[in-house]
Amino acid sequence: MTLIDTIRKVNKEGKVCFVAYIVAGDPDIHTSYKILESLSKNRVDIIELGIPFSDPISDGPTIQKASERALRNKVNISNALNMVKKFRLNYKTPIIIFGYFNPFLQYGLKKVMQDIKKVGAEGVLIVDLPPEEAFETQQAANHAELELVYLLAPTSTQERIDLVSRLSNSFIYLVSVTGVTGVREKIDKNLRNIIAKIKKKTKKPVCVGFGISKPVHVNQLKKVCNGIVIGSAIIKIIEANLSRKERIIGQISNFVSKIKKATFI
């Protein structure tokens, strides 16, 4: 199912859409695949699978370290896509491939979109590719029939909200804070206003990410947006258990079910 349809379906069932982010190959390729499975088994609605990059400037320390671990495991786009291919044989949870532009550019924009489609992922999000620079990438995504997700931020002007609403063929990813990824104590109070501003412009679903880490955050957001993205909070569990990896799956499953419970509106 497409990302947009998935979000709408989940919303119709009376839940906010739960998007979970992990980095492919963190802490190692085998465990990372097991985490993918556990996310799906614990009824995460969409999985965002990160391609590691050497210079992740939109990420805070938690995801930076996850990227470094994945790069030490020699993870690249190809073996991340192999994970998706294997996963697709048994699981239907939609997948977004997330990353920074340069690895996609080196792989070849046309080819990468085709290969992402081939392994069965539904969408792509490139964090350092604003709509102004995305023409070729958008064409390649369209050609491969993939959704390309654009971001909006608290700093986005009305003009930019219009631009993204017009160009996007997917949901809109709203960055909840001015800043990098990472766990935060509180949700920005101003966020409701920004969501309202976007909602005025477009009927496309809006998912909110960056800084969301607790059921209470989900409770605050679930009535005003269509989906929430959680990344660093999951990766922190991996980070805390690097020397006892067997505990990772259990702890992530626990955490994810708690969040899932909070998604019911």
3-state class of 180 per DSSP? Answer: coil
| Residues in the chain, overall count | 265
In the complex, the smallest distance separating the C-beta of residue 216 from another protein, rounded to whole angstroms, is: 23
Instruction: Identify the residue whose tokens are 């029939």.
Output: 145
Which of residues 18, 87, 98, 150 is near another protein by CB under 8 A?
A: 150
- Cβ closest to another protein, residue 44 vs residue 83: 83
Q: Which residues are CB-contacts of 75 (< 8 A; sequence separation ≥ 6)?
A: 23, 24, 25, 26, 29, 51, 52
- Applying CB under 8 A, the span of 84-92, 103-111, 190-198, 211-219 interacting with another protein comes to 103-111
Our answer to whether residue 48 is catalytic in this structure is yes
In the complex, the smallest distance separating the C-beta of residue 251 from another protein, rounded to whole angstroms, is: 26
In the complex, the smallest distance separating the C-beta of residue 186 from another protein, rounded to whole angstroms, is: 15
Q: Which of 260, 263, 231, 226 is nearest to 4 (CA)?
A: 226
167 is an interface residue for another protein by CB under 8 A: no
3-state class of 167 per DSSP? Answer: helix
C-alpha angle with apex 242: 96 to 247, nearest 5 degrees?
85
| CA dist list (Å): 157 to 17, 163, 242, 250 | 26, 10, 42, 42
In the complex, the smallest distance separating the C-beta of residue 113 from another protein, rounded to whole angstroms, is: 15
- Cβ closest to another protein, residue 69 vs residue 222: 69
- Applying CB under 8 A, the span of 139-147, 149-157, 187-195, 246-254 interacting with another protein comes to 149-157
54 is an interface residue for another protein by CB under 8 A: yes
Q: What is the CB-side half-sphere exposure of residue 41 using CA atoms within 13 A? A: 13
188 is an interface residue for another protein by CB under 8 A: no
Binding interface with another protein (CB under 8 A): 53-58, 60, 64, 71, 76-77, 101-107, 127-130, 132-133, 150-157, 160, 164, 175, 178-180
Residues annotated as catalytic are: 48, 59
